[in-house]
């Protein structure tokens, strides 16, 4: 299970940090200054700035879109201004990844499925791209699912106790151990998010930028559910075997008890993910929809 946590965090945290170190904002257009006193025959130009300072800006007159990557997956964002110092921003994330792994002798095929959507308010306290952004994950479908099996005659361990997966036997009804599991990263719904970063997606002046945000989503403690079925044996010679669904049998009762304890350990190992990291980098373009 620790390997699942490694897949979930290390794989997605591999973002292009070189971009972070080289983040700069460029303007693809220049705004004309006030016309010259001769009626406008001569004009000078000045670079675009992030904020209009103390001037008022009509809401919803600037729009921007961006695409990027974060531990929540591939990220798509859209934003618009609501004042000179505030934007409202919507975010959608998606990603999937499959991996085979073995834990405690149980072989599994796991699928990481990330899909979430949220909204945030970007507050720009200064006349530059720095912002702080409280928000909410309104949809959180982030989870890992797995289908597992223990080959007949192979050992597996639950809560420190070793068992053996039974061979199929038509006479006794014995079958090897199989199972399924779900690791959900969405206990808290909706989940609060908090980030800070650089870049204004909704700058609104034909402006390309590389927005960067760092923070966390407070998704709650992960939940782990595992179901096993089949026959387990105390020894590889299969002298003592029973269905693990039969809790009236000592083997079945012990396996179920140890499974519950093992799931609790796995859940504890993954507990740090209740504060899910966000480190996002993207490429954005903004434009004006009105000159009000």
pLDDT greater than 80 at residue 37: no
Q: How many CB atoms sit inside 10 A of residue 237's CB?
A: 10
Answer yes or no: are the C-beta atoms of 216 and 120 closer than 8 Å.
no
Total domain count, the chain: 1
pLDDT exceeds 70 at position 77 = yes
Instruction: For the beta carbon of residue 79, count every other beta carbon within 10 angstroms.
Output: 25
| pTM exceeding the 0.85 threshold for the entire prediction | no
Whether 187 is in a domain gets the answer: yes
Tell me what pLDDT residue 48 has: 39
Instruction: Count the Cβ atoms, other than its own, within 10 Å of residue 252.
Output: 17
Q: Is 253 inside a domain boundary?
A: yes
Helix, strand, or coil (residue 280): strand
Predicted confidence at residue 204, as pLDDT, reads: 81
Least confident among 21-25, 95-99, 160-164, 280-284: 21-25
pLDDT tens per residue across span 220-229: 999 999 999 9
Decide if 38 is inside a domain. Answer: no
User: Residue 77 belongs to what H/E stretch?
Assistant: strand 73-81
Q: How crowded is residue 2: how many other Cβ atoms within 10 Å of its Cβ?
A: 10
Query: Counting every residue, how long is the chain?
Result: 292
| Position 100 confidence tier, pLDDT thresholds 50, 70, 90 | very high
pLDDT digits (tens, 9 = 90+) for 149-201: 999 999 999 999 999 999 999 999 999 999 999 999 999 999 999 999 999 99
Give the C-alpha separation, 30 to 49, whole Å.
10
CA 26 – CA 45 distance, rounded (Å): 15
Flag whether 232 is in a domain: yes
Q: Within 10 Å of residue 66's Cβ, how many Cβ atoms? A: 25
Evaluate whether residue 264 is within a structural domain: yes
Question: Please, are residues 265 and 46 in contact by the beta-carbon 8 Å criterion?
Answer: no
- Confidence check: pLDDT of 34 > 90: no
Q: Residues 67, 73, 79, CA angle at the centre, nearest 5°?
A: 35
Q: Give the CA distances from residue 183 to residues 1, 118, 222, 278, 282, in Å, rounded to whole numbers and listed in that order.
A: 10, 21, 7, 19, 28
**237-255: pLDDT as tens digits:** 999 999 999 999 999 999 9
- How far apart CA 63 and CA 288 sit, in angstroms, is 6
Averaged pLDDT for residues 272-282: 97
43 inside domain: no
What's the pLDDT score for residue 1? 55
**What is the percent of the chain where pLDDT is above 70?**
80
CB 217, CB 139: distance < 8 Å: no
Any idea what the CATH number is for the domain that residue 147 is in? Answer: 2.40.160.170
Instruction: Say if 50 falls within a structural domain.
Output: no
Average pLDDT score, the chain: 85
68 in any annotated domain: yes
Q: Which domain holds residue 190?
A: 2-29+61-288
Residue 179 makes CB contacts below 8 A (sequence gap 6+) with 106, 147, 148, 149, 226, 227, 228, 229
């Amino acid at each position: 299970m620790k390997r699942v946590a490694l897949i979930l965090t290390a794989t997605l945290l591999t973002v292009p940090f070189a971009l972070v170190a080289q983040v700069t904002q460029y303007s693809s257009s220049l705004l004309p200054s006030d016309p010259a006193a001769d009626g406008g025959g001569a004009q000078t130009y000045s670079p675009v700035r992030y904020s209009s300072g103390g001037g008022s800006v009509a809401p919803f007159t600037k729009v921007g879109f961006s695409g990027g990557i974060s531990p929540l997956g591939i990220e798509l964002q859209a934003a618009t201004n609501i004042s000179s110092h505030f934007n409202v921003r919507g975010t959608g994330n998606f990603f999937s990844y499959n991996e085979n792994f073995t834990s405690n002798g149980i072989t599994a095929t796991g699928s990481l499925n990330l899909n979430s959507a949220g909204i945030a308010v970007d507050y720009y306290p200064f006349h530059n791209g720095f912002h702080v952004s409280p928000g909410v994950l309104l949809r959180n479908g982030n989870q890992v699912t797995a289908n597992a099996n223990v080959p007949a005659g192979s050992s597996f361990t639950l809560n420190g106790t070793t068992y053996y997966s039974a061979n199929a036997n038509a006479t006794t009804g014995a079958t090897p151990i199989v199972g399924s599991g779900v690791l959900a990263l969405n206990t808290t719904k909706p989940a609060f998010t908090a980030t800070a970063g650089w870049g204004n997606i909704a700058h609104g002046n034909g402006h390309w930028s590389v927005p960067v945000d760092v923070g966390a989503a407070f998704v709650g403690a992960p939940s782990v559910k595992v179901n096993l079925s089949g026959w387990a044996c105390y020894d590889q010679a299969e002298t003592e075997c029973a269905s693990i669904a039969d809790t009236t049998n000592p083997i079945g009762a012990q396996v179920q008890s140890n499974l519950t304890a093992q799931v609790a350990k796995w859940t504890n190992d993954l507990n740090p993910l209740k504060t899910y990291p966000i480190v996002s980098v993207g490429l954005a373009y903004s434009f004006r929809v009105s000159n009000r």
